[in-house]
Amino acid sequence: MRQFDVAILGARGVGKSALTDRFVTVRDSFVDKYDPTIGEQYHPSMVVNGERDLFKFFFTTGVEQFTAFTEVYIKSCHGFVLVFSLTQEGSLKEVESLRKQIFRIKGSENVPIVVVGTKSDLVSEREVPTTTIETLASQWNLPFYETSAKRNWYIDDIFEDLLRQMRVRYLSD
C-alpha cells in the first residue's frame, strides 16, 4: 500500500484533532510497529477509484511555532490540510501565512493543499462569511471546505480531494 505523509496545520483550538479523529475512527486503519516513545500510531486508509492508500498525519499549530524540525517535515510531506475555524477570523489569517511558508519551504507552488473551515455547526458564532471564502478560493486557486467535526459534515470529502491531488502530483508521470 502507498503511504502519503500529510501535515495538518492551523492555529491552536481550530479543531485539527477533532477533524482527524473523526476521519480515523471510520476508516480501516493500520498500526505502525509499536514505538515506546510515541505509542501506537494509527494510519487511516481510504479507497478512491478502487485503490487504497494510507495517510500518515503530522500536526503543527501556527507559524510562530515553526522549528527547524517543522521545516524538515513540511519539506517531506506530500500534502497539506490548512485548518481554520469559521468562528475565528484570526485563524484564517494564520492559514494565509502557513500557505506562504509551505510554498517557501517546498520551493514550489505546485503542492497538494485543501483549506478547511471548521465548526460550521456553530452558525451564530460564525465570523468568516462565505463571500470571504469564495474570494480567497479563487485568488489562491485552492479548494475550500466548510466542515463540522461535531456533525460529521464533509470530512471525507477533504481527504478524498487531497488524495486525488497527491496522486496527480506524485504518481502520474
- Per the listing, cell 500529510 goes with 6
Contact status: 118 vs ligand GDP (CB under 6 A): yes
Q: Which is nearer to ligand GDP, 51 or 125 (CB)?
A: 125
Span interacting with ligand GDP, options 7-15, 30-38, 74-82, 100-108, rule CB under 6 A: 7-15
Q: Which is nearer to ligand GDP, 74 or 167 (CB)?
A: 74
Q: Which amino acid is at 56?
A: K
Q: Are 149 and 21 in contact (CB under 8 A)?
A: yes
Q: Which helix (H) or strand (E) segment is 19 a member of?
A: helix 16-25
Q: Whole-angstrom Cα distance, residue 26 to residue 124?
A: 29
Looking at residue 8, the DSSP 8-state letter turns out to be E
Over the window 141 to 160, marking each residue x when it contacts ligand GDP by CB under 6 A and - when it does not, the resulting string is -------xxx----------
Over the window 81 to 110, marking each residue x when it contacts ligand GDP by CB under 6 A and - when it does not, the resulting string is ------------------------------
Least distance CB 56 / ligand GDP (angstroms): 17
- Per the listing, cell 487511516 goes with 44
How far are the Cα atoms of 21, 62, 86, 130 from residue 150, in angstroms, in the given order?
A: 11, 23, 14, 20
Site residues for ligand GDP per CB under 6 A: 10, 12-18, 118-119, 121-122, 148-150
